[in-house]
Amino acid sequence: MEMQPFYQVLDPFLIRFYRLTGYPWADFLIGTLVLASLALIIGEVTISLAFLAVKKRSDRVTEESRRYQNLSLDALKAGDKQAYRAANKLANDAFGKSFFMQIALSAAFLWPIFFALAWMDYRFSGLEFSLPFTGYSLGYIGVFILLYAAAYLIFKRVIYKLPYFRRIKAILDTYCSRAGELKSIADPLPPGQKPGKT
């Protein structure tokens, strides 16, 4: 299949990472790990920019959801089922808004994965790697997903050392502490006792 012009420009750069050692297996793993890391970094940058752009509205919706959810739990405590149902309905509406905003926003994180897979399809379609002792084989998508997961776990440990991402983390941390203001089923429990252990 003919490569798209966009990929014709990128291809010489990307394929270099697949020719580093001269050992096909190792080269494929190194190249795919680099590709997965690039997809991850670009995704992290674009979702952080998108997040900053919608932060104000997102804060408002989250606050509304938090308020009604806490109210519904207060109503439960008070044994007022009618008020509980009413607040639960409003919390549901607000949560729905926040849910779909997050869904749309997460596209900013995911899009590079598909561009990477589309390039791999040009280069490695039909390539299968035999898994030792199993009789099965793994295609390029499988290798990419596993290495993407590995890159994610590694990247999460180093990303916040960069000043820009440290700033994003500081904002996200304020969300976490605000999430802590959400009344939860664990609130009135004695220390060490978790909800669900019934």
Q: What DSSP letter does each residue of 34-46 carry, written as one string?
A: HHHHHHHHHHHHH
Only one of the segments 13-21, 24-32, 103-111, 160-168 lies at the binding site for other proteins (rule: CB under 8 A); that segment is 103-111
Minimum distance from CB of 79 to other proteins (Å)?
6
Q: Which of residues 37-76 bind other proteins (CB under 8 A)?
A: 46-47, 50, 53-54, 56-58, 68-69, 71-76
- C-alpha–C-alpha distance, residues 90 and 60, integer Å: 14
Q: Alpha carbon 150 to chain centroid distance?
A: 13
Minimum distance from CB of 2 to other proteins (Å)?
7
Q: Which of residues 119-178 bind other proteins (CB under 8 A)?
A: 121, 126, 128, 131, 134, 136-139, 141-142, 145-146, 149, 153
Buried b (16+ CB within 10 A) or exposed e, 76-86: beeeeeeebee
Could you say which of 89, 166, 171, 174 contacts other proteins (CB under 8 A)? 89
Interaction of residue 118 with other proteins, rule CB under 8 A: yes
Element (H, E) at 130: strand 129-130
Q: Which is nearer to other proteins, 20 or 179 (CB)?
A: 179
- C-alpha–C-alpha distance, residues 125 and 189, integer Å: 55
